[in-house]
């Protein structure tokens, strides 16, 4: 029999386009629920009604619709509402939260790939997040060309970021890998080029001991 698992665990899934995060987030949520945990799945940008409205502004329209700095401000406006209305209440209610993208996407997309100064992002994090911080971040990594090919095969109208050039996506990948190198206690890299079943097994091999030993 498994040891009792901790409640109110905050797990984020990160990575570039076509990495399969949404599929794995759903599989992980189902597996945690099977273990008896109360689980809520959410996403960014979005996750609350106000944040979903901001998401529509961010993921649709022309690539140059917003500057990277404006994107960053919109991301943090959405994130603050998401934290206030969903993430914090869930965690305080002993509900495990699984979030498809969070702070590291802003650091990688707008920061490393978009050129927004780290100081601005750090300042917005300090103002916006309070003490809401992921316990575990899974970074789904795969070659850029593979990820973009997967993304192109999906039926999806939210392609504003997908259509950026290869150099942007290469910087993006390196940004996520650098975050994992800087914060190894929080972040784990998952080989997202594997089959969905193999990826799910890799995810569980990381998540299960963290929950049991927390």
pLDDT at 61 over 50: yes
Q: Which pairing describes strands 136-141 and 39-43: parallel, antiparallel, or unpaired? A: unpaired
- Mean pLDDT of the 24-35 span: 96
pLDDT at 1 over 70: no
pLDDT at 211 over 50: yes
Instruction: Report d(CA 113, CA 177) in Å as an integer.
Output: 12
pLDDT at 115 over 50: yes
Question: Token digits for 150?
Answer: 């997967």
Question: Token digits for 108?
Answer: 């990688």
- Mean pLDDT of the 184-208 span: 97
With 0-12 / 13-18 / 19 or more C-beta atoms within 10 angstroms meaning exposed / middle / buried, residue 36 is exposed
- Mean pLDDT of the 70-75 span: 97
pLDDT of residue 151: 85
CA angle (171, 173, 175) in 5-degree steps: 70
All structural domains of the chain, each given as residue ranges with its CATH number in brackets, are 10-213 (3.40.50.300)
pLDDT at 6 over 70: no
Instruction: Report d(CA 55, CA 196) in Å as an integer.
Output: 27
pLDDT of residue 4: 46
Q: Which pairing describes strands 187-191 and 96-100: parallel, antiparallel, or unpaired? A: unpaired
- Mean pLDDT of the 68-90 span: 97
Categorise residue 156: left if φ over 0, alpha if ψ from -120 to 50, beta otherwise. Answer: beta
Element (H, E) at 92: helix 88-92
pLDDT at 193 over 60: yes
pLDDT at 5 over 70: no
Local confidence band at 159 (pLDDT 50, 70, 90 cut-offs): confident
For the chain, what is the mean pLDDT? 92
pLDDT per residue over 83-98, tens digit each? Answer: 999 999 999 999 999 9
pLDDT of residue 155: 66
């Amino acid at each position: 029999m498994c040891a009792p698992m901790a409640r109110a665990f905050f797990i984020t899934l990160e990575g570039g386009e076509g990495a399969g995060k949404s599929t794995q987030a759903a599989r992980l949520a189902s597996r945690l629920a099977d273990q008896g945990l109360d689980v809520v799945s959410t996403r960014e940008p979005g996750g609350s009604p106000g944040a979903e409205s901001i998401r529509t502004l961010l993921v649709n329209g022309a690539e140059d619709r917003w500057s990277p700095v404006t994107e960053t401000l919109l991301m943090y406006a959405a994130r603050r509402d998401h934290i206030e209305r969903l993430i914090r209440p869930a965690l305080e209610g002993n509900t495990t939260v699984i979030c498809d993208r969070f702070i590291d996407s802003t650091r990688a997309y707008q920061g490393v790939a978009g050129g927004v100064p780290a100081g601005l992002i750090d300042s917005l994090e300090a103002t916006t997040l309070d003490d809401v911080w992921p316990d575990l971040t899974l970074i789904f990594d795969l070659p850029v060309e593979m990820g973009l090919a997967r993304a192109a095969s999906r039926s999806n109208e939210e392609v504003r970021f997908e259509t950026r050039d290869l150099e942007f996506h290469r910087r993006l990948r390196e940004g996520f890998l650098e975050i994992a190198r800087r914060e190894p206690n929080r972040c784990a890299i998952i080989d997202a080029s594997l089959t969905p079943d193999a990826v799910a097994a890799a995810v569980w091999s990381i998540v299960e001991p963290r929950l049991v030993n927390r």
